[in-house]
Amino acid sequence: MYHIGIGISDFMICRNCGVYIGAHMPDKDGAYANVMAHVLDDHAQFTLPSIPVVRTKESEAEKRARRRAAWTPAVILPPQK
Ligand SMILES: [Zn+2]
């Protein structure tokens, strides 16, 4: 996992090919995450076009609020043995 930008989220990158898989943001009431649909086996089911965005001027509070609203509540499980 990598910390990028202001360091409030963990970005998951495939260790084999370097593709960005998703991000996880711990927050005061739990955690939130997203997954890049195009990395899923059934990615063809996601038919909406990608929308490029630039959010360089968001404050940390704005970023957290947007992620709490748009990402899904999530829990990172420990590695399975
Ligand atoms: Zn990969």
pLDDT tens digits, 41-63: 999 999 988 888 888 889 999 99
Q: How many domains does the chain have?
A: 1
59 C-alpha to ligand 1 centroid (Å): 31
Averaged over 9-34, what is the pLDDT?
93
pLDDT of residue 59: 92
Lateral strand order in the sheet of 30-35:
10-13, 20-27, 30-35, 72-73
pLDDT in tens, 59-72: 999 999 999 999 99
Task: Please report whether residue 44 resides in a domain.
Answer: yes
Token output for 77? 């499980």
Note residues around ion ligand 1 (Cβ under 5 angstroms).
14, 16-17, 19
Task: Please report whether residue 18 resides in a domain.
Answer: yes
Task: Please report whether residue 67 resides in a domain.
Answer: yes
Residue 12: strand pairing partners: 22
Task: Please report whether residue 22 resides in a domain.
Answer: yes
Task: Please report whether residue 3 resides in a domain.
Answer: no
42 C-alpha to ligand 1 centroid (Å): 16
Task: Please report whether residue 1 resides in a domain.
Answer: no
Range of the domain at 19: 10-72
Task: Please report whether residue 81 resides in a domain.
Answer: no
